[in-house]
Amino acid sequence: APGNGQDTSLLAKPKPKTQRPPMYKVLLLNDDYTPMEFVVHILERFFGLTHAQSFDIMLTVHKKGLAVVGVFSFEVAETKVAQVMDFARRHQHPLQCTMEKE
């Protein structure tokens, strides 16, 4: 601005902002009925986690109420949620899995 002694026009260069797609957290929710081993199996089967990683996440959900299982693109997150919900429903467990924008 004129007169204010704060001209940055010689230093300010335009910053091209590269657009990155939003990422989505897949969350697993606790309940009182789904067997612990079933949850561990789901984490191994659909998220490619080791047995130890799966057991840790299952215990976190059991103790804290929920946990982030992983962060994925919208399409991948949607698929994981659908796979978990379908598998739980087919086995008649009330397990809930949801996604949330990061």
Residues at the site binding ligand TYC, with contacts judged by CB under 6 A: 28-32, 34-36, 39, 58, 61-62, 95
Amino acid at 25: K
Closest distance of CB 21 from ligand TYC, Å: 27
Tokens of 83: 């796979």
Report the greatest alpha carbon distance in the chain.
73
Type and span of the H or E element at 97: strand 96-101
Residue 8, φ and ψ in degrees, nearest 5: -110, 10
Q: Please, which residue, 21 or 87, has the CB nearer to ligand TYC?
A: 87
Tokens of 53: 């990683």
Q: What distance in Å separates the CA atoms of residue 84 and residue 24, rounded to the nearest whole number?
A: 16
Closest distance of CB 84 from ligand TYC, Å: 9
Closest distance of CB 29 from ligand TYC, Å: 6
Q: Please, which residue, 31 or 78, has the CB nearer to ligand TYC?
A: 31
Q: Please, which residue, 29 or 68, has the CB nearer to ligand TYC?
A: 29
Q: Please, which residue, 41 or 62, has the CB nearer to ligand TYC?
A: 62
